[in-house]
Amino acid sequence: MKKTIHFKLNGEKTSMDVAPNDVLLEALRANLGAKSPKCGCDRGDCGTCTVMINGRAVRSCLILAVEVEGCEILTLEGVSKGRIAALQRSFVKHNSFQCGFCAPGMIMSLTELLNHKPTPTEEEVKEAISGNLCRCTGYTQIVEGVMDPAVSKKR
């Protein structure tokens, strides 16, 4: 019943044995120790489980592990790679999170935006995180964190 799938996780070739009904989010956390994607609503509404597949921010709670055969997956662990990325530094500077539960998903959604638009407008930032819920900040500090010149110009 289980099947071995091969893919890249944060730049490194990886494989894991999965059942057809294993969800990617749980497989990443339980099998591969990638704990940055979180389980919030578990139905695609809140964005805390956001990872990138082939350069696109997606909901890992709405994807089966078997679907990612041959794909490149990036989680927050791969964005920081041992150092703190510019966006993360800016999040700290602007108090862009309190409890931190939404932060990995926010950063993945915003990383996708900044990859496509290095100097986004405030409206584009809000649109990019329109599917990422934060119950602490009220979003203002998150938008400020992205609009900081250290983030949106240096990249």
Partner 1 sequence: MPIATEFEYFAPASVRETVGLLSKFKDKARLLAGGTDLIVQLKEDVSKPQALVDIKRIAPLGGIKVQGKFLRLGALATFTELIESTVIKSKYPILWEAARTVASPGVRNRATVAGNICSAVPSLDSAPALLVYEAVVVIEGPKGSRQIPFASFITGPRRTVLAKDELVTAILLPQPGKHCGAYVKLGRYAGEDLAQAGVAVLADAKGAIRAAFCALAPAPLRSAKIEALLSCKKCDAAVMAQACALLERELAPISDIRSSKEYRLHMAGVMLERGLKAACSRLKGEGPDYGKHLI
Non-local (6+) Cβ contacts of 152 within 8 A are 114, 118, 119, 120, 146
Nearer to partner 1, 130 or 150 (CB): 130
Is 23 among the residues that bind partner 1 (CB under 8 A)?
Answer: yes
Task: Name which of 15 and 84 has its Cβ closer to partner 1.
Answer: 15
Place of tokens 């510019």: 86
Q: Which stretch binds partner 1 (CB under 8 A): 38-46, 78-86, 87-95, 142-150?
A: 38-46
For residues 52 and 74, the answer to whether their CB atoms sit within 8 Å is yes
Considering only residues 8, 14, 26, 93, which one is a binding residue for partner 1 as defined by CB under 8 A? 26
Location of structure tokens 């900081």 = 148
Segment interacting with partner 1, rule: CB under 8 A, options 80-88, 93-101, 124-132, 141-149: 124-132
For partner 1, give the closer residue by CB, 96 or 111. Answer: 111
| Given 79, 106, 112, 143, the residue binding partner 1 (CB under 8 A) | 112
CA distances 8 to 28, 107, 115, 125, Å, are: 12, 20, 19, 28
Using alpha carbons, select from 94, 102, 118 the residue that is nearest to residue 38.
102
Backbone φ and ψ for 45, nearest 5 degrees, come out as -95, -30
Binding site for partner 1 (CB under 8 A): 1, 3, 19-23, 26, 42-45, 47, 50, 56-59, 61-64, 66-67, 69, 109, 112-113, 126-128, 130-132
